[in-house]
Amino acid sequence: MSRLRPVYLVDYACYRPPSHLHAPRQQFIERCKLAGCFSESAIEFQHKILERSGLGDETSIPEYAHCIPPKPSMASAREESEQVMFGALDALFSNTSIKPKDIGILVVNCTAFSPTPSLSAMIVNKYKLRSNIRSFNLGGMGCSAGVIAVDLAKDLLQVHRNTYAVVVSTENITLTGYSGQNKSMLIPNCIFRVGGAAILLSNKSVERRRAKYRLVHVVRTHCGADDKAYKCVYQEQDEAGKMGFSLSKDLMATAGEALRINITTLGPLVLPISEQLLFFTTMVAKKFFNAKVKPYIPDFKLAFDHFCLHAGGRAMIDEMEKNLQLLPVHVEASRATLHRFGNTSSSSIWYELAYIEAKGRMRKNDRVWQIALGSGFKCNSAVWVALRNVKPSSNGAWEDCIDRLPGCHVQ
């Protein structure tokens, strides 16, 4: 059996929306009032969600949403995707000096917008990528799809030698805004914001010298066989025929169970033997002897130096911090990302990694755990090891604000 080729993360870039797209919380509520489609109860509910969400006043919404009244269209949705994807890719190509025609593999993930031609074709056309490129477009896979895209690129890099793979993780919220009154479907309006990231991977041995990280593990968990898990994040029409995404009351419990299953698989790969023994002893006692003992939560702080937890919302971060028994410093990047950029779906874990770098905390041999949770329901983990003391790349997403974060308002 041939040895697996190392997969290097050469560099990545996160899109930083221009300031004219910022949506301060109070302004967002005023625009909801002017839209004319929400009842007073729906507006008040969104106001409460925003106040508790952990989002700040510099998160961004698409161009169309700044119009009164907003008029979403296919053209404006394409415009949003172009701005985000091309913005991130331009920065990536500039920072790495890689020519677009050198790219052999392209993987794009976006849950809610799947036009024809595809988003991957949009990129091929824009950058005139070569005709034999292996391109893939992943849709409908939720906020955890960024790790799925990395996993797919990793597998392809085992087959195709001496090449580069670009992963673009983004979301499009132009056509997903909900204009009805159902409270469970109003929450996504309040937390999802514009964002995206472009990641350059390679199996070229020569790239090890300048690469930031090496991919160590990817562990994927899919709980879709369970009906409650399958429907806890669900796109549907409400009673009035308005389309949106509903979040069920089982969401946090489902996320916790998906995380538990994921760490059960990941633990033996990364934890010290002492932690593995404690974990599996309590698990066996509970399963076979019906012992009334609390499941032992392994101390993942012994395995990882940095944590990039999906910035799905304040409650989601709180739950993972509690379940994994982390300290405030371990979730600082997630809370700061939620505050500054909002929930950018699958790209949030890359904004968090960029935050850690911008703070100057990433040292050679540090291990990073990216945890992504999303519809399906899925929990996916990616583990990276830093190949050097990592400095932030030029024109990074945090350049304009890193010195004032986290700050007392990031909680």
Residue-wise pLDDT tens digits, 91-110: 999 999 999 999 999 999 99
Domains 7-207 and 213-386 share a fold: yes
Looking at residue 291, what is its pLDDT? Answer: 60
Q: How far is CA 292 from CA 184, 275, 408, in A?
A: 36, 20, 41
pLDDT tier for residue 68 given thresholds of 50, 70 and 90: confident
Q: What is the C-alpha separation between 266 and 390, in angstroms, rounded?
A: 25
Mean pLDDT over all residues of the chain?
Answer: 94
Residue-wise pLDDT tens digits, 174-203: 999 999 999 999 999 999 999 999 999 999
Residue 44 has pLDDT above 70, yes or no: yes
**213-386: CATH number:** 3.40.47.10
**Residue 365 appears among annotated catalytic residues:** no
Q: What is the C-alpha separation between 378 and 223, in angstroms, rounded?
A: 6
**Residue 339 appears among annotated catalytic residues:** yes
Between 101-105, 117-121, 295-299, the lowest mean confidence (pLDDT) is in 295-299
Q: Which of 109, 172, 203, 343 is catalytic?
A: 343
Residue-wise pLDDT tens digits, 325-344: 999 999 999 999 999 999 99
**Residue 222 appears among annotated catalytic residues:** yes
Residue 407 has pLDDT above 70, yes or no: no
Residue 16 has pLDDT above 70, yes or no: yes
- How far is C-alpha 230 from the geometric centre of its chain's CA atoms? 19
Residue 1 has pLDDT above 60, yes or no: no
Q: Which of 14, 190, 308, 339 is catalytic?
A: 339
Looking at residue 276, what is its pLDDT? Answer: 83
pLDDT tier for residue 2 given thresholds of 50, 70 and 90: low
**Residue 379 appears among annotated catalytic residues:** no
Q: What is the C-alpha separation between 167 and 107, in angstroms, rounded?
A: 5
Q: In this structure, which topology does domain 7-207 adopt according to CATH? A: Peroxisomal Thiolase; Chain A, domain 1 (3.40.47)
Q: Which of 32, 109, 137, 222 is catalytic?
A: 222
Looking at residue 190, what is its pLDDT? Answer: 96
Looking at residue 409, what is its pLDDT? Answer: 54
Q: Which of 143, 223, 308, 379 is catalytic?
A: 143
**Residue 323 appears among annotated catalytic residues:** no
Q: Which of 137, 182, 306, 380 is catalytic?
A: 306
**Residue 310 appears among annotated catalytic residues:** yes
Between helices 40-53 and 25-35, what is the axis angle to 10°?
Answer: 160
Q: Which of 223, 310, 330, 379 is catalytic?
A: 310
Residue-wise pLDDT tens digits, 25-42: 999 999 999 988 999 999
Domain residues of the chain, as ranges?
A: 7-207, 213-386
pTM (two decimals): 0.95
What is the arithmetic mean of pLDDT over 278-289? Answer: 74
Looking at residue 293, what is its pLDDT? Answer: 66
DSSP assignment string, 307-341 = EEE--S-HHHHHHHHHHTT--GGGGHHHHHHHHHH
